[in-house]
Amino acid sequence: MTQPADPLVEGEAESIPDRATQSIAEQAAQSIPDRHVQLRAAGVSLIVHIPEVGLPAFMHWGSDPGPLDRQQLEQLALAEGAPPAANGVDEPRAVSIMPEPWTGWTGAPGLDGHRAWRGWSPRFTVTSATSVNPVPGDGARGGTLELEARDDVAELQLDLHIELTPTGLVVMQAHVTNLGADPYTLGSVSLGLPVPTRADELLDLAGRWAKERVPQRRPFAVGTHLREGRRGRTGSDAATVLVAGEQSFGFDRGEAWGMHVAFSGNHQVRAERVASGERILLGGELLLPGEVELARGERYSTPRVFGTHGVGLDALAGRFHDHLRSRPHHPGRDRPVVMNVWEAVYFTHDLDRITALADAAAQVGVERFVLDDGWFGGRRDDTAGLGDWTISDVVWGDGRFRRLVDHVAALGMEFGLWFEPEMVNEDSDLARAHPEWLMQVDGRLPVESRFQQVLDLSHPGAFEHVRSQIVALVRDYDIGFIKWDHNRDLVDAGSTRTGRAGVHEQTLAVYRLLDEIKRQCPGLEIESCSSGGSRVDLEILERTDRVWASDTIDAHERQQIQRWTAQLLPPELVGSHVGSQRSHTTGRMLDLSFRAATALFGHFGIEWDLTAATDAERAELAAWVRYYKQLRGLLHTGTVVRRDLEGGDLWLNGVISTDRAEALYLVTVRERHITWPVGRVLLPGLDPDRSYRVTAGGPSAFRAASNHWADPAWWRDGVTLPGSVLVGVGIAIPAQDPDHAALIHVAALR
């Protein structure tokens, strides 16, 4: 299994290998017996060609043709090499995974850098290659290929890690080492995944605050589709997964290839189609001027770049889900029902009020109670206090904080606490004591955002300040969960320590801080939140246990946000709360059944002032909590399916257990359809050879209340049908207004 990027360290001095006595070609001849390597896993084949000069290229990344022996691989190399392009270079080469301009490649270079303006067009040769588990070993389990390449003229070494995980994901990472005496300035290092010419359409995600991960599509035209993240965080508008696929590819159809850059700082992904026919997805970190300058022996590591292939977007997502679930540190225990107090109290912290909320939470079955922003320093609103991570005397003094923590524990709930560790208000003791720890450019502070500035964690003192304050609180109060927030873009994020742009170092420092806190607080779970869902990527998830997908709890919006967050993350990693009837962010009024059914398809929680809810509402909510607890085993391990029905007016989301014995589907009307009732709905993912009992889902006492104005005949007492009928013929669903839920539960007969 791939390891989290070890930790993308700039400035790691290493001894430089002395190979002066051996030419690059001699070394290569000795250490690379096989120039074609095939890795296979979960229906995917990755076939890599290591040329005698230049960097490796993928001969094939896609569906698995079965194991190929050396002779067959050589024949394939002959068969698939394109003829020279008209008016192109005389010796055409397959575009490599880090495309090099010297080969005649006219797209963006994989490595952009120079040594005082020389060494700007490296020409690498692979000097060693080690593969683990290539075909014909145990071919179904994936494997790795570690390559070392050098350019003795540019005086650079490149180490490449190429992996096919057991779940069929490609993972690539590159490390660039300066072998020369003078510094080497890096502009960018991108890794590329080639896609075939039948990948005619592109899809990626966009978005904004409270409306994250909105899909956008376009033809894969000649030129570059470039998505840059320059916010110093992953971003609410991040591409997240850039997909190229066959025309009209959808959740269940069309071959497709996707890329994700696992990084929480500045980054870029691009889809490039050049005149000579190649199409490639490229991704890496976006470096600001001067951020990475390698002294002799220093090494820069790229983020990990992931590739996912399959037929349909669900298959692409499924590979990420399977991969995440296979990690040893994937949250193993049942995902506890959360109560977060933010939308219930905002900054109005008061022991009696919050204690009453805890009582109400415990009554409906909450298992984790989270105190949000407002408990520390001078934080009475959002203008002050960030950076001072000690309990506020004003609201929580005289032992009141301890009383709350003890009360929550006595109610049988775990206690969670909010932090925003990378941020500082200018009105804080920390900023007054250490103005030099605020990120800035040439003595000029950045423009404020939410009245806050960014704390430069690359200063050892700043790092230590935050680390020690957080660890002390976690230990003193037995805190089981941290909501780790990050509420502004990094604008003009320079470091007073180096005088240079500091986003790269800040991002690595955040990873170190999270790693350190996790190490010192065993069992602590952390949520990645950033103005809602602005930090959702696979590198932050190596150190955190769920994401807060959005600041909008409006279930209509959440349906879309969760549907597309699922392109990367399985439901158990995506916090999803039941809010109040009127959404605080959109003003939309939604029934409890729809709000709760939407939250079911994530890590379920509540963010609502239950002390103001009616008894009937609390009783219904408690029933939904019981239902979630009953089904979370299925929802948090099963296969996710998504479908657009009736021209997109009807959405189906479902989770099917891996043994296909049980499933839960949610059908919602997004828009009132032009004809009514809608047609039969197919239930994907079931075993055609089994018989299933199909019943209306949701807590039984509240099924009738879900605003169906006409139900099909089977709705009351259920129906028993073969899987082949459910997947191929379909069933009728209740006629319902938009933004109401029809849950369908399916269980195999023994």
User: Which amino acids are annotated catalytic?
Assistant: 485, 551
Q: 713-719 long-range contacts, Cβ below 8 Å, gap at least 24?
A: 718/693, 718/694, 719/693, 719/694
Smallest distance from ligand DGJ to CB 371, Å: 10
Nearer to ligand DGJ, 251 or 375 (CB): 375
> Please, what's the b/e burial string for 618-646 (b: 16 or more CB within 10 A of its CB; e: otherwise)?
eebbebbbebbbebbebbbebbbbbbebb
Calculated CA dihedral for residues 399, 403, 409, 411, nearest 10 degrees:
180
Smallest distance from ligand DGJ to CB 420, Å? 7
Query: What is the rounded distance in angstroms from the CA atom of residue 141 to the CA atom of residue 135?
Result: 10
Q: What is the 3-state secondary structure (H, E, C) of 585-626?
A: CCCCECCHHHHHHHHHCCEEEECCCHHHCCHHHHHHHHHHHH
Binding of ligand DGJ at residue 373 (CB under 6 A)?
yes
What DSSP line would sit under 210-275, residue for residue?
TEEEEEEEEE--SEEEEEEE-SSS--TT---SEEEESTT--SSSSEEEEEEEE-SSSEEEEEEE-T
Q: Which of 107, 194, 284, 532 binds ligand DGJ (CB under 6 A)?
A: 532
Paired tokens of 677:
């009732």
The answer to whether the CB of 221 falls within 8 A of the CB of 273 is yes
Site residues for ligand DGJ, window 512-531 (CB under 6 A)? Answer: 529, 531
Best CA proximity match to 161, nearest among 179, 144, 141: 144
* CB closer to ligand DGJ out of 173 and 425: 425
Identify which of 198, 274, 261 has the alpha carbon closest to the alpha carbon of residue 227: 261
What the block records as the tokens of 28 is: 């290569």
For residue 529, what are the CA distances in angstroms to 162, 464, 551? 31, 22, 9
Which residue type does 631 have? L
Beta bridge partners of 709: none
Q: Which of 300, 306, 415, 418 binds ligand DGJ (CB under 6 A)?
A: 418
578 binds ligand DGJ (CB under 6 A): no
The sign of the torsion formed by the CA atoms of 19, 22, 25, 28 equals: negative
How far apart are the C-alpha atoms of 346 and 610, rounded to whole Å? 14
| Closest CB 342 distance from ligand DGJ, rounded Å | 5
- Give the residue from 501, 492, 507 showing the smallest Cα distance to 265: 507
372 binding ligand DGJ? (CB under 6 A): yes
Which residue from 203, 210, 208 is spatially nearest to 557, judged by alpha carbons?
Answer: 210
55 binds ligand DGJ (CB under 6 A): no
> How many residues lie near ligand DGJ (CB under 6 A)?
11
Q: Are 235 and 206 in contact (CB under 8 A)?
A: no
Q: Considering beta carbons, is residue 318 or 533 the nearer one to ligand DGJ?
A: 533
Q: Minimum CB separation from ligand DGJ for residue 580, in Å?
A: 14
Residue matched to tokens 């948090």: 636
* Residue 209 or 714 with smaller CB distance to ligand DGJ: 209
Q: Min. distance of Cβ 531 from ligand DGJ in angstroms? A: 6
In order, the DSSP letters of 542-579 are GT-SEEE--S---HHHHHHHHHHHTTTS-GGGEEEEE-
Q: Does 487 bind ligand DGJ (CB under 6 A)?
A: yes
Nearest to 437 by CA among 503, 509, 494: 494
When asked if residue 583 is in the footprint of ligand DGJ (CB under 6 A), the reply is no
**263 or 376: whose CB is closer to ligand DGJ?**
376
Q: Which residue is it, tokens 């080690």?
A: 130
CB 487 → ligand DGJ: shortest distance, Å? 5
Answer yes or no whether residue 485 interacts with ligand DGJ by CB under 6 A: yes
In a 13 Å sphere around the CA of 491, the CA atoms on its Cβ side amount to: 12
Minimum CB separation of residue 390 from ligand DGJ in Å reads 18
Instruction: Work out whether the CA dihedral 272, 273, 274, 277 comes out positive or negative.
Output: positive
Q: Please say which residue, 414 or 551, places its beta carbon nearer to ligand DGJ.
A: 551
CB of 548 to ligand DGJ, least distance (A): 6
Residue 376 Cβ, how far from ligand DGJ at the closest point, in Å? 12
Residue 461 to residue 379: CA distance in whole angstroms: 22
Give the shortest CB-534-to-ligand DGJ separation in angstroms.
Answer: 9
**Comparison of 375 and 418: residue with beta carbon closer to ligand DGJ:** 418
Cα Rg, the chain, nearest whole Å = 27
342 forms part of the interface with ligand DGJ (CB under 6 A): yes
- Compare residues 62 and 387 and give the one whose CB is closer to ligand DGJ: 387
* CB neighbourhood size of 16 (10 A): 14
- Give the nearer residue to ligand DGJ in terms of CB position, either 329 or 450: 450
Distance of closest approach, residue 386 Cβ to ligand DGJ, in angstroms: 9
* 316 within 8 A of 309, measured Cβ to Cβ: yes
Q: What residue type is assigned to position 244 of the chain?
A: A
Using CB under 6 A as the binding rule, whether residue 377 contacts ligand DGJ is answered as no
For the bound state, the minimum distance from the C-beta of residue 551 to ligand DGJ, rounded and expressed in Å, comes to 4
Write out the binding residues for ligand DGJ, residues 546-565 only, by CB under 6 A. Answer: 548, 551
Tell me whether the omega of the peptide bond preceding residue 215 falls within 30 degrees of 0, making it cis: no
For binding to ligand DGJ (CB under 6 A), which residues are involved? 342, 372-373, 418, 485, 487, 529, 531-532, 548, 551
